[in-house]
Structure 1
Amino acid sequence: MQSLALGPFALSLDRLLIMIAVAVALFAGWISSRRGGRNPEAALITIVLLALVGARLGFVLRFGSDYLADPLQIIDIRDGGFWWLSGVLTGALAALVYTWRQPELRRSLGIALLCGGITWGSTAIPLAQIQSSTRALPDMALMTPQGLPVNLQDFAGRPIVLNVWASWCPPCVREMPVLEQAQHDYPQVTFLFANLGEDGATVNAFLRELEVELEHVLLDQQNLLGEHYGSRALPTTLFIDASGQLRDSHLGELSVASLKDRLATIREPQPPQ
């Protein structure tokens, strides 16, 4: 499963697991504080917020040239651009400051952070490994807007970016120029655009109006891809390596930087010039 639908809203599974880990940490901190010490709730929330800011700033610095081209995207966290390493380091530093300046928090805060970390590590990491090893590129035939059948296995042997979209989805529309340009910037990667639930005439009319040229457009009118990969939201972009294994996924709008970051998981190293 890549995402969870909650009525009209959708949440990626990795973010849901982080929220569960934070909830466990808050509960563990509250329980431990009842036997002495202070409730670390305020400290935990501050640490999480600082970790998120650190993760975002670290990501922006890694892809500084891409964000300088459009500085407003720095604060647009919908692209999912977070670097876990800078986030962990920022959170760890904040936790050390709290335990140094407020000794009465050491026990309860330490227990809370330990419980939250164990919860996340015991769920997110194994789940990611299971998904990447079991969600192979399916032997599935979809239609082109012109009515021709295409089997996804025909694209095996090369890295694949599989974007699931619809014309009525605003984030899908906003990210389309980014993906269109990526087709030219990364010729060694195959980009597939699977439209969800619309007919060929609607798709062709939309692409003409948007003035984008996509090389491989497919129609998934029965949400077969969503059922196979466990996707419940749009847009969803799947990153599949040359062996057909799912290596990463992204729920929501992609920016140039976040796309470049995810592509690193499936692109083969280029030989030196």
Structure 2
Amino acid sequence: MDPLDRGIALGPLGVSLGQLLLVLAMVVALIVGTWVGSRRQVSVGDVLFNALLIGLIGARIVFVAHYWQSYDTFWSWLDIRDRGFEPLAGLVIAFIYLAWRFWQQPAMRRPLGSAVLSGALTWSMAAGALTLTAPHGASLPSIPLADLDGSPVALPTVLQASDRPMVVNLWASWCPPCRREMPMLEQAQREREDVSFVFVNQGESVDAVETFLQRESLTLDHLYRDPDMSFGREVGAMAMPTTLYYDTDGQLVDTHFGELSRATLDRGLERFTRPSR
């Protein structure tokens, strides 16, 4: 799993390490910018917040423009719970805004430059350290799961039998975003015969799973239980929902922490059709 996409549960909320690093970088930038600016009686806090906001809005707009056919309504464009952003586009847009403020207000250049540089260094060093210490080339775990009849199942065996790439969704019935995304995933499982969709329930009983399926009128193939959440711990899923994308060789090619929309699912599925480098 991408270390920046690893989820952490904070009470009822789940956040990714990437989101926490973004907050950390912003805090460092504010501290440095305030300290340097105080000696020149210049405030850069508003500029930094505006750059962050403009970058996020731009990243969202570019993502929606790319996957607009996957969104059903205008309001779904605004629902950022699916974490549908184009980071590179957001960075470019934020940089253009900051460059404009540099040119417009010369007195702000030193504190703003110091703030941006310190924030960028904080992000790059922390993200680099996480990436270097994270295991690479993660393969599909062979930890035994169980179907609803109690029979043992190993996902590598399922993958080999299907000879198709696999999307593994870790979920629980008590998890609101898991419940919201499940009908969309059910539909995707019906439509995409070239991909195996696997649903691994985390830590719930057979009765709880069957009650949820009946209440929501869901029919899911490849539905398995991970009673002691060993599979979830093995792949580093500390919060739900977490979705993992494995190629036909069982190698992890992408991850998504948090609620999926059809657009963010489609983005992940594109990894199966991109030529390998």
After TM superposition, give the deviation of residue 248 of structure 1 in Å.
Answer: 2.5
**CA 47–122 in structure 1, closer or farther in 2 if over 3 Å, else same:** same
Match of 2:217 among 211, 217, 222: 211
After TM superposition, give the deviation of residue 135 of structure 1 in Å.
Answer: 3.4
Q: Which residue of 1 aligns with 2:105?
A: 102
Q: Which residue of 1 aligns with 2:184?
A: 178
After TM superposition, give the deviation of residue 24 of structure 1 in Å.
Answer: 1.7
Structure 2: how far apart are the matches of 1:202 and 1:97?
56
**CA 11–35 in structure 1, closer or farther in 2 if over 3 Å, else same:** same
Match of 2:233 among 227, 234, 237: 227
Q: Which residue of 2 aligns with 1:122?
A: 125
Q: Which residue of 1 aligns with 2:9?
A: 5
Structure 1: how far apart are the matches of 2:189 and 2:86?
25
CA contact (8 A) 1:140 1:153 kept: no
Residue deviations 1:5-34, cap 9 Å, x none?
A: 222322111111111111121122123224
Q: Does the alignment pair 1:55 with 2:59?
A: yes
Match of 2:95 among 92, 95, 100: 92
**CA 168–153 in structure 1, closer or farther in 2 if over 3 Å, else same:** same
Match of 2:140 among 132, 137, 140: 137
**CA 125–54 in structure 1, closer or farther in 2 if over 3 Å, else same:** farther
Q: Which moved more, 1:69-78 or 1:224-233?
A: 224-233
**CA 126–191 in structure 1, closer or farther in 2 if over 3 Å, else same:** farther
Compute the RMSD of aligned alpha carbons: 2.0
Structure 1, gaps ≥5 residues long: none
Structure 2: how far apart are the matches of 1:81 and 1:197?
28
CA contact (8 A) 1:193 1:217 kept: yes
After TM superposition, give the deviation of residue 179 of structure 1 in Å.
Answer: 0.8
Q: Which secondary structure does the structure 2 equivalent of 1:180 belong to? A: helix
Letter aligned with residue 240 of structure 2: L
Q: Which residue of 1 aligns with 2:114?
A: 111
Alignment of 1:78-89 (within 5 A): 78-89=81-92
Q: How many residue pairs get matched? A: 268
Q: Does the alignment pair 1:163 with 2:174?
A: no
Residue deviations 1:210-254, cap 9 Å, x none?
A: 222211111011111221122221211122233333333222211
After TM superposition, give the deviation of residue 131 of structure 1 in Å.
Answer: 4.2
Q: Which secondary structure does the structure 2 equivalent of 1:250 belong to? A: strand
After TM superposition, give the deviation of residue 54 of structure 1 in Å.
Answer: 0.5
Identity %: 39
Structure 2: how far apart are the matches of 1:19 and 1:245?
31
Q: Which secondary structure does the structure 1 equivalent of 2:35 belong to? A: helix
Q: Which secondary structure does the structure 1 equivalent of 2:260 belong to? A: coil
Structure 1: how far apart are the matches of 2:191 and 2:111?
50
Letter aligned with residue 65 of structure 1: Q
Q: Does the alignment pair 1:268 with 2:268?
A: no
Match of 1:77 among 67, 76, 80: 80
TM-score (norm 1): 0.90
Q: Which secondary structure does the structure 2 equivalent of 1:133 belong to? A: coil
CA contact (8 A) 2:166 2:245 kept: yes
After TM superposition, give the deviation of residue 128 of structure 1 in Å.
Answer: 4.6
CA contact (8 A) 1:197 1:220 kept: yes
Structure 2, gaps ≥5 residues long: none
Q: Which moved more, 1:137-146 or 1:24-33?
A: 24-33
After TM superposition, give the deviation of residue 36 of structure 1 in Å.
Answer: 3.2
Structure 2: how far apart are the matches of 1:108 and 1:242?
51
Structure 1: how far apart are the matches of 2:274 and 2:253?
16
